[in-house]
Structure 1
């Protein structure tokens, strides 16, 4: 092998140029930003700020919620609180509670605010609902007029999801509102000229980082109900600025901060109180522009590029460490004394990378060799499978039996038969060449050598069309043992041994990767593999074809963004499905439509063994043909519902007209014709309702109240029950919320009640019980009818199956009513049970899972 040696020199250009390229690459990643956040958080949490003496919180805590009841409270309570704080001498009162809607108590609250004279209310910038432009959500007009000032309550979250600062001015168009903290101080800030902008543009100015006094609960705080129920306390509130807001867990806005992260987030009112404290103490931190940080990094590159080529390795290490230490000290000095946040991560990373860059130049030959090995890795062979030639003949016989199901077999070691069935020693032909198959009629024989022993293996194949193909396959199968080549001497040099191990490992990895990639490419379904953030890292050719996206653009694209771009939907949104698959580690199966084709996408979470890495494997199946069949089925349903039902309705109307104008047609004939028409109509109606139930999916579910559904169903059949003198007795007062389709559930209950009325004797009663059992909403419908025969109970919910008693009693139908009930209950993941004794009546019990609704109010 020819070795191309070349001299390696470290010059300012050979060091500076790679470092500059690294700087440009870092600028395109989030690594510097994360490092800046980490440095800032470390310094701020190590040196918490001191709280201002004139700020205090009035917290809507758990004790207040327990005492005053469910939120929202009557605004008369806030009016009383303002009066108490006014009597206690509070200088400024700041509400972090939104009052967007008018209330009957607004006059009292407005009067208390005007009496105090310095009450500040928040406003919120948000769209009124989805798909609407952003707008200002101001307090109710009467309250806004009584407030001394309005301030925005928005807190800016950084890219990592933590709250570190706030925009002191925020608004739409040219109307900028101060933050609550700035409004509480009464100060004003100059507004930068923005030119002509849209009135719906969210404009923000004067960003400041907030050095907080600690985590949640660090600010002095008093309970809302404690202040409200006790006499005024001037020693606690005199000449102070009081912030009022929610701190109870799960109530109000919560903000992860450098002190707590997501483990113990801070309430919004505490953050605004911290902002006010830092503002009045002059401790808010201004952020230096990114261009200054880049300039500092370039200066660091110049210094290192000039100095490192002249230094030995030991001096290079010391210079890089000193440079990194000086940058860290400059960052800390500016942060605490100049109140400037200078992002130094770009410049700080450069010294840490300069040493390996200079060392890499001295190890270029080794790197070139490793690069050649990596190139060979991309062109490496496929995955290695265990060769049949290395398997024992008894193992081969076992595999042949499982694969071909032969009618007979024989395995002999020398002259001793090990296993035989359907073949004898007299059937063994002359086998001259080991490893070659001999096929005689339906028999196939081979001689094998393993470990110095000779084996004879024979198979008796079935006399069918596949026998010739099987024999051709056996001829191609390599069963001759291959001698193992002598192992090559291991390299003696340490670096050579390491290189050899890397070569072998990368070769095996390449084989595995190519095997997996080719397997995915040959699969009939589309495959997408994402990382733990839902970003696509692999996609096979089907994805490129179906989505019509080039493969380079797929790699690195968030999966939720890809799906949203091709099949946008609101319920449930794609990002929710992808995030729940990752966070809950649960599989999801969702319909997908791409370019007028129907697909089924299955999200399955995975985690790599011996690693913290995880992600999603999304399997996409083309179900366009199946959906076409479903669409044809729906068209048939539409035909029945329109072309059959509509003429029948017209027929009924005509019959009624003929009955009013009787001629030669007998009334009995008209009545009979009407019964037949009504029966046909009910048949079509039951068929349509059943088809709707079968097509029900959870995408059509929503929260509904079960007792109201039952009451509506009872009212629908009350007239039918009254005609027979039957009393419907409903027992149940508890609201039971569940997630489902209220329309179909009501039809289900109507079917149960209609059956009960039909099979109950006149002047009887039907008991309807609605109750909760564990996590299930239950309904029991009991009648005093004839009951159901035991042999008919197992088939009660079968389609088109009707009871013999129904035919005898003259109750005609299609047998679809209870089948509809069963389908709807199954779609809602519920249960239905029947208890009946002939002559004593029947009881149908329906059980559905309940859901706990979480509703938040301001």
Structure 2
């Protein structure tokens, strides 16, 4: 693993560990509490009559008189409640002192005994003046009530988010008032044991309500107060007057508590962070939550640490493959997603996942990742500058610190830009050089993929330059088979091993031939393909010519030598007959050489176009062949109106020789007394010059061989080539093609043959004065 890779790995592990420690140590507890409270307040409030509050409000103080009231007043309220038969009653008053009138205490004790389901709170002493830190009700009152603790269990920020099911000293644990109410009402929660579990040192509260050591809270739960409804509240004075309907109180839990302004303590909660909530309402809501099991389950710190650390590790792994913009979006998405998931879990599933340790770690990931990426980029730029400075062919590259700017990264990016500008200039020069080369050239990288190709190479590949880049040589030269290996990649490997130029020939299905040269260097490969198709055709023609000379010219010469030898040894062949044979063979050899020279002249002679008249040209050829035609009693006819002209631009010499050759063949293969017709017409954009004979026609099997070199069709002998060559037709075809036209043969076996020369008007350039090809 590289140094950069090891650094990234340790950075990832470090951030994951820091995230886990933050979760376990609850470093972000204030922020987590804030989102917890916001989610709690997001639910709409509703009313509930499961628990009824009898409020000692301002109206009650005005009606009954100055506080504190005599115990007989509370006794009267309990007697009124007894008529309605509530399920259980909490008298949320610290009645630690007896009434000055013992009769008042007796009334209250009798009322509680008659009701039989009364809960009284026991407070926490502010000073450790007793063996137990309890401020309990007077002995006469507490004998007929169930005691409950009055510890609201606020968090460190003063807000009440939890409820201690049990609280007190190690030896004496009292239940929560809501738990005591449920117990008296016969609806004790199944998940709560009937007796307090033994406290552990972790349950000790240092800095609780009384600032005492030895105070324990056990069974700490988080009631989901947002799911509970606002309790029905009636005035204490209305109860005394009998104005409260009994149906509101029957079979209900009743909490009697102080709500008047300036009296009692209002406790800030997640639902009421500023105005606070009265103790009576808090107990009423906790009672509803415990009765229905509406408790918030908090994700254990260890699980939170593992989950958050895993998310941080996954995010950092993903950021290695993202652009800076997408990495920032990923961090923002994970952070906002964590908040949204935490919110949704609490609102819809009463599950609390503290998210801000993960959010803080995710927000820290981006600057740390950016720092790491920037450091790696700076190192890469430094290494690249050193590499470019040593690159041959480049001018001096400005080194960091040579310019006036003090920006570290700006120095290096400026130097890289300068080096890239030089490389682009060198690349443009190379591309221009390749463009002017006549051969197809490819430049390949060390992996064998094309990085540059000139126009000739793209034309050979039959693809635009944009799509040629990135291909392999086997793809670029598909259809061209190398002579020295089955695949081009093998030749590249061979050239790379030899470190010397390697040449081979390649051909395709169309008969094309290319001479391909390969050169390999440490930076890549250069491949050059030269078109040698014409050269190979010329070599083939030369081979055919040598075969012709060796056969058709050698045969008559050998016959001449044989006649001379026969005459020397005294053969009985007459001298005149011998001379006749020698003359015929010499003339045959001379005719063959003349035909060969005409073909070579037609192929190599510069084409000179002049303004002329095709009819005059035809008349001249007819006049030249009249004596040969008369020898066989053949009539030559020109099929055009007298005095007409057909102007055109053509090579007078070559086209004249072509027409003479056509007439010579027509006369040769026409019977005595026949006629040969020469015609001229204008059809579409072409001049059509035709010569028609009345001979036997051309065998169908020989039509495909008419214009092949060194072959001749022997009229009257179907499907059999005569000895010798037929260079006259090759000459005719060559001249016609050089004028941009073609030869068309109309064959009628037994009737005759017609050769038509189609000469395009535009190609002949009638409006020009001269042209040379």
Give the TM bin, normalised by the shorter chain: 0.3 to 0.5
Q: Which has the higher contact order (CA 8 A, sep 6+)?
A: 2
Structure with greater Cα Rg: 2
Q: Structure 2 length as normaliser, TM-score?
A: 0.43
